């Protein structure tokens, strides 16, 4: 289903007189967005801040996704907001949508293959889920989201865009525990930060699988990618430093709560 058949609130609509203009407008926005991501990544690579290149396949996948549809209509505002370099500051109950650059960095580090089985912790309204599902076109994506209304919006939008056959969104209270029912996973991507890698996620990762997760303190984190070796040990690599994420709610937030009085949280790089 193309952009022209989807309304701003994510519901299917018949193609009308103005639908082609919207389609062209969205395509111009996605083109500008991916060009900006490439420019920013090249700059950060040159400075030594970004240690994993942005994969062309990821940019191609992102260019296919009508990102604005994943903003609940009551927070939608201008369509172009979804494609700007900054995060979307409100998508419901104090939750946000990460900047396109952040999605590109994390998904590139995950190295999703067409047959990958993917677990996404913190699916939000589903925008990154759609990118993962586009790449894992013959695999499976399981998304976990604590906010029930956002999870429902993600389901509706992903279904309307044709991802219903290979994407599931579950509402869970604590992403720390992952989703053992569909394990093992080739990729686990965590869109919220903690100070350590949750052991349940490590256990649910297949041999050779990759765990992408922001680690650090409330003030600032770094995105790391860990590869699980055949013996079960993890080999870690820094992807990018100086990032800012919301905390992983539940057990992953315990240390953060203790540090709140000492370290103020602030967003870095428009996350």
The dihedral through the CA atoms of 224, 209, 59, 124 has a sign that is negative
3-class secondary structure, 52: coil
CA-to-CA distance for 41 and 54, rounded, in angstroms? Answer: 7
Q: Cis link prior to 184 (omega < 30° from 0)? A: yes
CA-to-CA distance for 268 and 250, rounded, in angstroms? Answer: 23
Distance of CA 3 to the CA centre of its chain: 20
In 10 A of CB 199, how many CB atoms?
A: 11
The two three-digit tokens of residue 78, written as one number:
């201008």
Closest CA to 1 of 67, 60, 64, 81: 64
Could you say which of 41, 98, 108, 116 is catalytic?
A: 98
Closest CA to 131 of 195, 61, 82, 69: 61
Q: Are strands 234-243 and 167-171 parallel, antiparallel or unpaired?
A: unpaired
Closest CA to 201 of 147, 149, 248: 248
Does residue 98 carry a catalytic annotation? yes
Closest CA to 265 of 214, 199, 212: 214
Positions annotated as catalytic residues are 98
């Amino acid at each position: 289903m193309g952009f022209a058949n989807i309304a701003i609130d994510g519901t299917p609509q018949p193609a009308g007189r103005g639908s082609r203009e919207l389609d062209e407008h969205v395509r111009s926005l996605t083109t500008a967005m991916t060009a900006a991501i490439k420019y920013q990544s090249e700059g950060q690579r040159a400075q030594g801040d970004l240690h994993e290149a942005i994969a062309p396949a990821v940019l191609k996948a992102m260019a296919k996704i009508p990102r604005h549809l994943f903003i609940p209509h009551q927070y939608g505002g201008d369509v172009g907001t979804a494609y700007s370099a900054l995060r979307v500051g409100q998508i419901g109950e104090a939750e946000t949508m990460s900047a396109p650059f952040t999605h590109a960095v994390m998904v590139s580090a995950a190295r999703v293959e067409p047959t990958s089985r993917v677990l996404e912790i913190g699916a939000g309204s589903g925008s990154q889920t759609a990118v993962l599902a586009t790449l894992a076109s013959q695999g499976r994506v399981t998304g976990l989201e604590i906010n029930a209304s956002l999870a429902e919006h993600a389901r509706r939008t992903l279904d309307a865009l044709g991802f219903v056959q290979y994407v599931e969104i579950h509402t869970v209270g604590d992403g720390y525990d992952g989703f053992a029912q569909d394990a093992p996973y080739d990729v686990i991507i965590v869109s919220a930060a903690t100070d350590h890698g949750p052991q349940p996620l490590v256990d649910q990762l297949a041999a050779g699988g990759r765990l992408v997760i922001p680690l650090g303190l409330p003030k600032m984190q770094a995105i790391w990618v860990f590869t699980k070796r055949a013996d079960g040990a993890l080999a870690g690599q820094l992807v990018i430093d100086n990032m800012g994420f919301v905390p992983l709610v539940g057990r992953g937030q315990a240390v953060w709560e203790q540090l709140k009085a000492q370290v103020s949280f602030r967003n870095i790089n428009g996350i």
